[in-house]
Amino acid sequence: MKNSTLIIACFTLMLTYSCSKDVSIKIPTVSTNSITDITKSTAKCGGNVTNDGSETLNGRGLCWSTTPIPTIKDSITKEATSTGYFYSAMTKLLPKTKYYVRAYASNSAGVGYGEIFSFTTSDGVIDESSVTYGVLKDNNGNTYKIVKIGTQVWMAENLKVITYNDGDTIPNSTNSLNWSKLSSGAFCNYNNSSENISIYGRIYNGFAVKTGKLCPTGWHIPNETEWTTLITTVGGDKVAGLTLKDMGAARWDLRTSNANNRYGFTSIPSGARAVSGGFHDMGNTATYWSSSSVDAKTYMHFIELGTDSLSIETSLDDNSNGYSVRCLRN
């Protein structure tokens, strides 16, 4: 009898403790923020955890689905488990598809959800007429589209000049062996063909860039920092290869058919010329000089967009290479 009484007393004590614990811990309170930056495969959203339910969170983020009531059993993001605001990116979305999203936060008591919002991803097609272009004329009479991207104004076509902005002639180096031996400025047409000029512009070696006289008056070849500003403005180096490229596959390889030229930069695969003098990668690569150099004679920075990559790369190369040039307004 005493043992039974003791067991009942212990059970009652445990039940009381359990109940008091359940009462003290509540499901977290969270709200959903607005949806931004919707593309054909990504979108951004956030939330705000205003109450953790008196216990450290074990989960926080977004959940989304094509069904009207998304839960953590659907696609989710995972953010730091703390109260306050957070911001997440939803990825691998399907184009032209309606999604439902809400913020969530969880602890041992359960999962709290914010309001449900819906959005529809784009089809990836950008109306070129939505980009406003200006016109620039160089000292040789060539005209170019120009476009404002963020706080910068860029040429939207590759440079074509055959003289510096002070009137001095830039040598046209057609011989491969001579090209490899140059230690001063020069230009060429891809494959030495004048048929490539109107669309792809001309190719210049790093020595021509170093003169500081290639661009029209009031314009300059961007340095590494200025290229970085552009890349950041158009979404960062992981997607700039998509947002800066000319639309469709008319000039790029078919693998770049999802390029959207969202900001009007209109990068085209103009190819390059190697130190050896050989031409390569027209239709596959766009490479642009930066004016930033590592030393006085040999290496300069360049920017490259490849056919099968959404990213953009920056690196160093020998001044004897030949790349395209885009000018930036002072």
Collapse the DSSP code of 243 into the 3-class scheme (helix H, G, I; strand E, B; otherwise coil) and give the result.
helix
- Residue 300 confidence (pLDDT): 64
Q: Indicate the residue among 102, 120, 138 that finishes a domain.
A: 120
Residue at 204: amino acid letter: Y
* Burial environment of residue 242 by CB neighbours within 10 A (0 to 12, 13 to 18, 19 or more): buried
- 98-121: pLDDT as tens digits: 999 999 999 999 999 999 999 988
Parent domain of 114: 29-120
Within this chain, do residues 63 and 132 fall inside the same structural domain, yes or no?
no
Could you tell me if residue 180 is inside a domain?
yes
| DSSP type of residue 94 | P
Provide the pLDDT confidence category of residue 20 given band limits of 50, 70 and 90: very low
* pLDDT score, position 16: 45
Residue 226, SS3 per DSSP? helix
**CA-based Rg of the chain, rounded to a whole angstrom?**
29
- The answer to whether 31 and 50 are in contact (CB under 8 A) is yes
> Are 249 and 316 contained in the same domain?
yes
Give the DSSP letter of residue 208: H
Query: Do 116 and 135 fall into the same domain?
Result: no
Query: Which residues is 113 bridged to in the sheet?
Result: 104
Tell me which H or E stretch contains 179: helix 176-181
Is residue 214 domain-shared with residue 300, that is, in the same domain? Answer: yes
The verdict on residue 258 lying in a domain is yes
Domain boundary among 87, 120, 153: 120
In a domain, 6, yes or no: no
Q: Please state whether the predicted TM-score (pTM) of the whole model is above 0.85.
A: no
Is 90 among the domain residues? Answer: yes
Based on the fold, state whether residues 174 and 295 are members of the same structural domain.
yes
Better-predicted residue by pLDDT, 129 or 195: 195
Query: Could you tell me the CATH number of the domain that includes residue 59?
Result: 2.60.40.10
CB 116 within 8 A of CB 69: yes
Residue 280 and residue 192 share a domain: yes
Encode pLDDT of 320-330 as tens digits.
Answer: 999 999 999 99
Buried/exposed code over 278-304 (b: 16+ C-beta within 10 A; e: otherwise): ebebbebbbbbbbbbbeeeeebbbbbb
- Average pLDDT rounded to a whole number, residues 229-233: 89
In this structure, is residue 251 part of a structural domain? yes
In 3-state terms the chain splits into helix, strand, coil percentages (rounded to 5) of 20, 35, 45
Q: How high is the mean pLDDT of the chain?
A: 85
Q: Do the domain assignments include residue 5? A: no
pLDDT digits (tens, 9 = 90+) for 163-194: 999 999 999 999 999 999 999 999 999 999 99
97 and 210 together in one domain: no
User: Is 1 within the bounds of a domain?
Assistant: no
Q: Do both 68 and 177 map to the same domain? A: no
Q: Are residues 93 and 210 in the same domain?
A: no
On whether both 100 and 207 belong to a single domain, the answer is no
> What pLDDT, on a 0 to 100 scale, did the predictor assign at position 212?
94
Length of the chain: 330
- 238 & 177 share domain: yes
For residue 87, the SS3 value is strand
Residue whose C-alpha is closest to residue 89's, from 39, 40, 42: 42
Residues 218 and 311 in one domain: yes
Share above pLDDT 90 across residues of the chain, in percent, rounded to a whole number: 61
* pLDDT tens digit sequence for 133-156: 999 999 999 999 999 998 999 999
Residue that terminates a domain, selected from 86, 120, 154:
120
In a domain, 23, yes or no: no
Residue 4 tokens read as 């039974």
Domain count across the chain: 2
User: Measured between alpha carbons, how far is residue 59 from residues 16, 99, 104 in Å?
Assistant: 28, 22, 8
